[in-house]
Amino acid sequence: MTPEFVTSIGKETIEVILMVSAPVLIAGMAVGLAVSIFQAVTQIQEMTLTFVPKIIVVFVVLLALSPWMMEIMINFTQKIFTEIPLYARG
């Protein structure tokens, strides 16, 4: 295995991680920002108000996008497993 080969595998792994995690993180950040603005405007400083909407949105996004996420991860895993002979030769 050459350093370029290992680097390309690492790069592709990071891309898959970002593609799978980005929608959930972006949704959580958007809801967190909206709740923070709401709390600043209304001066309600309830701690549970920040967590409950985020948890609900994250679960909804996970449920909605789980087939797509699984497809991305399965394709990546299949590619890695089918290329194992190339890894052993290098």
Q: Please list the pLDDT of the chain residue by residue as tens digits (90 residues).
A: 788 888 999 999 999 999 999 999 999 999 999 999 998 999 888 888 889 999 999 999 999 999 999 999 999 999 999 988 887 775
Locate the domains of the chain by residue range.
3-89
Predicted TM-score (pTM) of this structure: 0.81
Q: What is the pLDDT of residue 90?
A: 59
Q: What is the pLDDT of residue 53?
A: 92
Q: What is the pLDDT of residue 3?
A: 83
CA distances from 86 to 6, 15, 80, 83, 89 (A): 12, 21, 10, 5, 5
The helix/strand count (H/E) of the chain reads as 3, 0
**Alpha carbon distance 49, 45 (integer Å):** 8
Q: What is the pLDDT of residue 85?
A: 85
C-alpha triplet 51, 16, 31: angle, nearest 5°: 20
Helix axes 3-42, 48-82, angle to 10 degrees: 160
**Alpha carbon distance 71, 86 (integer Å):** 23
